Amino acid sequence: MSGLKGMLVRLKTKNEPGAGTNDHIYIGVVGSGGGSEFPLDVPGFKNFEKGTDIKFWFGDVWDGAALSGAKNPFQAHKWNDPEYRHIDMDKVDYVYLRKHSHRGGVDDDAWKMDEVEVTLYGESPKKRLFYKTGDIWLANEYGLQVYLKEKK
């Protein structure tokens, strides 16, 4: 088993009116070797405002240069540490981004992004990159989850 040791998440929100959100956002990692969701919440920080390009890190990210400016989400070195979740990195089949909506119907705090990148880190130098680019809307009207593809 090649355990998942850490993750680096980059989220680029569009710079246009109404693009940001105050809803909860999660990264999900799942496959035949286990899986979990990880909340992207940094206390006291406006996470998903329009025009932001933010990085979040969990667990052991051995690429120090990639960590420059990255935020550490709540409990990222305890309950939300990827190593604690015992996920086999080689058996990860899907990585997704999910927005939780607190509102019903069309009264939703929609979120529009340009880019999502998730890098999974195992033992150095092992890593896997998942991404999606383009107009990415997450809202009740458009769906609350998007799957990323792996860059080979």
* Structure confidence at residue 112 (pLDDT): 94
Q: What's the CATH code of the domain at 52?
A: 2.60.60.20
Asked if residue 115 belongs to a domain, the reply is yes
Which pLDDT value is given to residue 75? 67
What is the Cα–Cα distance from 78 to 84, expressed in whole angstroms?
A: 8
Is residue 125 in some structural domain? yes
Residue 1 lies in a domain: no
Query: Over the stretch 19-69, which tens digit does the pLDDT of each residue have?
Result: 988 888 999 999 999 999 999 987 777 778 899 999 999 999 999 999 999
Q: What is the DSSP letter of 50?
A: T
- Tokens for 79, please give them: 């309950």
**pLDDT by residue (tens digit) across 96-136?**
999 987 766 556 788 999 999 999 999 999 999 999 999 99
In this structure, is residue 34 part of a structural domain? yes
pLDDT bin (cut points 50, 70, 90) of residue 9 is: very high
Whether the Cβ atoms of residue 111 and residue 19 lie closer than 8 Å to each other: yes
Classify residue 12: in a domain, yes or no. yes
Please give the single-letter amino acid code of residue 23.
D
Q: Is 144 inside a domain boundary?
A: yes
**How many structural domains compose the chain?**
1
Range of the domain at 136: 6-151
